[in-house]
Every structure is written in C-alpha cells, then in structure tokens.
Amino acid sequence: MKENKIRLKFKGSKHHRLLAFLLIIPMAFALSACGSSTSEKDSKESTIELYNMDTHMTVTAYGENADKALEKVREEVNRIDKLLSTGLEESEVYKINSGAADALSEDTYKLLDKSLQLYKDTDGAFNIAVYPIMEAWGFTTKNYKVPDDETIARLLTLATPDDILFNRDEHKIAFAKEGMKIDFGGIAKGYTSARIMEIFKECGVKSGKVNLGGNVQTLGTKTDGSKWRIAIQSPDKGDEYAGVLEVADKAIITSGGYERFFEENGVTYHHIIDPKTGKPAKSGLQSVTIVSDDGTLADGLSTSLFIMGKDKSVEFWKKHKDEFQFVLLTDDNKLVASEGLKGSLTSDRYEVEFVSAK
Ligand code: ADP
Ligand code: MG
C-alpha cells in the first residue's frame, strides 16, 4: 500500500497577526455588511489522496471540519479494505471463504444482505459467488489465462448464491457446497463512498466529493451552491470525456469492460463475469453509469446492468426508476440514458438518446 499523503489548501501564515490587524477595519465593515464571515470558512478546501482497494482515491471536503473528517475517512477506508480484501489472510472475507469466519461484522452483514437482494432483483446478474470463476481467469492474481470450458462448467456449479447459508439471527454465514467463495468487488467501492458521505455528515461537513478510480459520490452542492460537474470517463481513457453529469448529493458509478482486462490471441477479456456463461459479459455495452442517492446500490447496479445489456437494463429501470438513473455507452458509440437525466447529462462526443419510463 502506498503511503497516504495529505494536502491542505489555505494554510495559515506567519504574517497572520499583522494581516489581521491591517484588515480589521475593512473586515469589521464587511462583517456588518454581509452578516457573517462563515462563507469563507465554508469554502475552505481540503483534499487527501489514498491508494486502497487497488484504486487511486481522491477525497475532498469543504469547511471548518474538513480536515477532521478526512482523517476519519482515511481510517475508515483502511478498515473497510482490511475487512473485504479477498487476498488478505486476516480479512473477514478471506475467513468466510476458508470457512473460518465467526459472527459477521456489521459491514459484511449489510453487504451480504444487499448482494443477495441484488441477486434476486437482477435475475442473477449480480452474483457474489462468481469468485471461483474470477480466480480461474486469473483476475485475482493478475496471472491471466483463458480457462477451458470444462473448468468453467465445473466452477459455475459453485456460483450459486442460493447455497449461501446466511443466518440473519446469529449473523453467521456458511456455504452449502465445498469450494464456494464470495467477493464484494462489484459493490465495495460504492459502499465505501457511501460510508465516506456518512462520515462527512457526522463531522458536520456539508459539501464534499470522493472519487474512487472513476466512481464518484458527492455530498450537497459545491460551496457556491452550484451543482457538481462529474465526467463519465471515455473507454479509451482519452482526454475527451464520454459525457458530463451535473448533479448534487448523488453517487455516479461506472462499470466498464475497459477497467481491468487482458488480451490473448487478439481477444480482449475483461473482469465483469456473466454468471450465466462464466465468461466476460458481452452485452453490447462499453460502459454503464448509475446515478443514485445510494452509493452501494449504484455500484451493484453498474455491474449488473453491464451484464444485462441495453434492453434488459431499460426494463429493469422501469421497475426501479425511483431508485436510480442510468447512462449506457453502447458498442455502436451511442449514449442511452434514462429520462431523469434530461438537463443533467451532456456529451460533446456521442449522440444521446433518452429513454422514457412509458
Ligand atoms: P470496478 O471495480 O472496476 O469499478 P465493477 O463495480 O463492475 O467494476 O466490479 C467488478 C468486480 O466485481 C470484479 O472485479 C469482481 O470482483 C466482481 N464481479 C465480477 N462479475 C460479477 C458479477 N456478475 N456479480 C457480482 N460481482 C461481480
Ligand atoms: Mg459495480
């Protein structure tokens, strides 16, 4: 893990007192004219950068309590990473996967509950039990390989969330079949960004933003009251964005086949597995962006809709349109978005088609 560094803007200076003296008369006038000087304090910006969960993270908070909040965020992100990291022997998920877990922590309990709910709601697209298949493709170790069909067929028999025995009363988990393993990689970053928003609120921060490797969540508006402008990354990671969303108080989470992949014999294989085939999902989409109040949901759904493809995604959205909005970038280079994003989504690069709920 790289060392975390803190970067603070608006640092104090030695000449503070002299300046204060010189400014005291105009300041007093300004105070009586404006009522208070809090707007300046409210717009004080602090940022930390972290490397965690295999991801570069930038967390920004505004106001007097920003530094305090960011220290808590740093601790919390470390804590969640240590809990969920599949490769770390001390992690809770590692213990679950090796059958050695005790009572579940509150975090894992919530993530498991949400994941199993999503499995049902998405008709099996969101499946935390695909982990043995992720291993077979080498995504867990970066020793990439294309598994043979027999291996995939065998491992698919373990990718069955109905065989996760979740004892909600005792907060315990067990697997009905030997060899089953789970992984919250499809939902963990959204859970983390949602936790960060909670910390902001607990600390009295009213405006802030986190970017976890392209997955963004915002609290409130910018300090001047305007909305945040959040870019949707282009699949080729070029300078030109796929689109821009203007939002307040939302998670904006993107899944794409270009995030993590390898190539073999001229074929590209990415890390989002279709649980029906055990292979990287091919559904005619380059990326899916979900906009929602709920970061955890947004992350789970970005993975799920990427697997579902356009038509199923639209049907799914019609049933859940109060919970989220979407932007799909199709293989034929069009942006298809839900109508709730009209007025908030723009693109210089692609044609945008809005889908209505009727
Ligand atoms: P990213 O982590 O790159 O932002 P996603 O949110 O789409 O992208 O998560 C992809 C991760 O989700 C994979 O690395 C893997 O850990 C996990 N995963 C892959 N396929 C599925 C699936 N069908 N259901 C749930 N999780 C999945
Ligand atoms: Mg996801």
DSSP state of 162: G
Which ligand minimizes its atom distance to the CA of 159? Answer: 1
User: What is the rounded CA–CA span in Å between residue 102 and residue 167?
Assistant: 12
Q: Is pLDDT above 50 for 10?
A: no
Half-sphere exposure of 82 (CA within 13 A, CB side): 8
Backbone dihedral region for residue 322 (phi beyond 0: left; psi -120 to 50: alpha; all else: beta): alpha
Residue 323 and residue 295 in contact, taking contact as beta carbons nearer than 8 Å: no
The mean pLDDT of 336-352, rounded to a whole number, is: 97
* 280 sits in which H/E element: strand 279-280
Torsions phi, psi for 327 (to 5 deg): -130, 120
Q: Is pLDDT above 70 for 140?
A: yes
Pocket test for ligand 1, best of 117, 232, 271 (most atoms within 8 A of CB): 271
What pLDDT score was predicted for residue 40? 66
The mean pLDDT of 299-311, rounded to a whole number, is: 98
What pLDDT band is residue 259 in, cutting at 50, 70 and 90? confident
The mean pLDDT of 319-346, rounded to a whole number, is: 97
Q: Is pLDDT above 50 for 214?
A: yes
**What tens digit of pLDDT does each residue of 86-108 get?**
999 999 999 999 999 999 999 99
What pLDDT score was predicted for residue 45? 97
Whole-angstrom CA distances from 189 to 37, 60, 152, 252 are 37, 16, 27, 11
Q: Is pLDDT above 60 for 20?
A: no
Which ligand minimizes its atom distance to the CA of 302? Answer: 2
Q: How far is the CA of 167 from the centre of ligand 1 (A)?
A: 25
Which amino acid residue places its CA nearest to atom 5 of ligand 1? Answer: 186
What pLDDT score was predicted for residue 35? 31
Which ligand minimizes its atom distance to the CA of 139? Answer: 1
Burial class (CB in 10 A: 0-12, 13-18, 19+), 242: buried
Torsions phi, psi for 29 (to 5 deg): -65, -45
Q: Is pLDDT above 50 for 8?
A: no
Burial class (CB in 10 A: 0-12, 13-18, 19+), 241: middle
- What is the value of pTM for the model shown? 0.89
**What tens digit of pLDDT does each residue of 43-63 get?**
899 999 999 988 999 999 999
Question: Does residue 305 have its Cβ closer than 6 Å to ligand 1?
Answer: no
> Taking the domains of the chain in order of start, what are their residue ranges?
1-358
User: What is the rounded CA–CA span in Å between residue 314 and residue 233?
Assistant: 22
What pLDDT band is residue 41 in, cutting at 50, 70 and 90? confident
Q: Per CATH, which fold does 1-358 belong to?
A: T-fold (3.10.520)
Q: Is pLDDT above 90 for 168?
A: yes
What pLDDT score was predicted for residue 16? 52
* DSSP 3-state of 173: strand
Instruction: Number of helices (H) and strands (E) in the chain: give both, helices first.
Output: 9, 19
Burial class (CB in 10 A: 0-12, 13-18, 19+), 71: middle
User: Among residues of the chain, what percentage have pLDDT more than 70?
Assistant: 89
What pLDDT band is residue 133 in, cutting at 50, 70 and 90? very high
Question: Does residue 126 have its Cβ closer than 6 Å to ligand 1?
Answer: yes
What pLDDT score was predicted for residue 26? 43
